[in-house]
Amino acid sequence: MAEKLTKGIFITFEGPEGCGKSTHSRRLFDEMTSDGMEVVHTAEPGGTELGARIRDILLEKKDIRLGEVAELLLFEADRAQHVAEVIRPALEEGGIVLCDRFNTATFAYQGYGLGMDMDLVKRVDRAATGGLEADLTVLMDVDVETGLKRAGAYSAGDRMEKRAVSFHRKVRDAYLRMAGDEPGRFIIIRVSDDIEQTYKAVREAVYGYIERNKGTG
Ligand code: TMP
């Protein structure tokens, strides 16, 4: 278990392309806010002004050539700024942070997906996070083909979505493997066609976690 550095609760949402995490985490944010909780919703890449520009380069500017190391460093630059400017201050205030994607995405996409040296990935990541880890990671699992179809990747996908199906299979396998290795941090939610049922499962996972961990920070 990672050392607890702050008194807030840090919850991340992960999954392969088209898993629907952003829709559910936003809805959860709305519900938690109206229940009077101190909660922030944010996302990577792009959770800061710098991050929005980095996101544009990483995902939208398909004409810019980007090597693997440059790609890794851009995701981590986004993260370093995001942790310093948004996530850590909110956690230090004792708030709940809901974040679409965090470092588990880097391990899955750049580490396993691209096959980069995992020691290097972890070292750079640690510099960016300062050791901050998610308390709870909700892994929204979906079949690769279904997810890519939902994300519109076959027609107008961004740089990541346009990668080969085999890349996305590695990403999904990596997520499931990491979840298996760290059952205390991950909750796996199998995404179904029934959006209400999926939301209910996400809601229960997060509310249940908060209920069990209130005041322990
Ligand atoms: P999303 O906002 O739709 O989740 O898109 C973010 C994309 O960036 C998605 O394809 C996953 C990818 N990504 C990485 O490859 N590495 C990372 O560290 C992060 C945060 C995202």
Would the pLDDT of 167 be above 80?
Answer: yes
Helical spans, DSSP H, in the chain = 21-34, 49-55, 68-82, 88-92, 103-106, 118-129, 144-151, 153-156, 165-181, 195-213
3-state secondary structure of 14: strand
For residue 197, what pLDDT is reported? Answer: 97
Contact 140, 206 (CB under 8 A): no
Beta bridge partners of 99: 12, 42
Which positions ≥6 away from 35 have C-beta within 8 Å?
none
**Closest-lying ligand 1 atom to the alpha carbon of residue 76:** 18
Q: Which residue owns the Cα nearest ligand 1 atom 9?
A: 160
- Find, among 189, 186, 206, the residue nearest to 198 by Cα: 189
For residue 154, what pLDDT is reported? Answer: 72
CA of 127 to the centre of ligand 1 (A): 19
For residue 44, what pLDDT is reported? Answer: 98
Between 8 and 152, the more confident residue is: 8
User: With bands split at pLDDT 50, 70 and 90, how would you rate the model's confidence at 157?
Assistant: confident
Ligand 1 surroundings by CB, under 6 angstroms: 17, 43-45, 59, 75, 100-101, 105-106, 109-110, 160
CA of 43 to the centre of ligand 1 (A): 9
**Ligand 1 binding pocket mutation candidate from 101, 102, 138, 191 (most atoms within 8 A of CB):** 101
Q: How many residues does the chain have?
A: 217
Neighbours of 4 (CB within 10 A): 15
User: With bands split at pLDDT 50, 70 and 90, how would you rate the model's confidence at 63?
Assistant: confident
**Ligand 1 binding pocket mutation candidate from 14, 158, 160 (most atoms within 8 A of CB):** 160
Contact 179, 186 (CB under 8 A): yes
For residue 4, what pLDDT is reported? Answer: 57
Least confident of 33-37, 129-133, 154-158: 154-158
What predicted TM-score, i.e. pTM, was given to this entire model? 0.95
CA of 180 to the centre of ligand 1 (A): 21
Which positions ≥6 away from 49 have C-beta within 8 Å?
none
**Ligand 1 binding pocket mutation candidate from 73, 109, 126 (most atoms within 8 A of CB):** 109
The C-alpha atoms of residue 91 and residue 69 are separated, in whole angstroms, by 30
CA of 36 to the centre of ligand 1 (A): 30
3-state secondary structure of 89: helix
Would the pLDDT of 61 be above 50?
Answer: yes
- Find, among 80, 60, 78, the residue nearest to 130 by Cα: 80
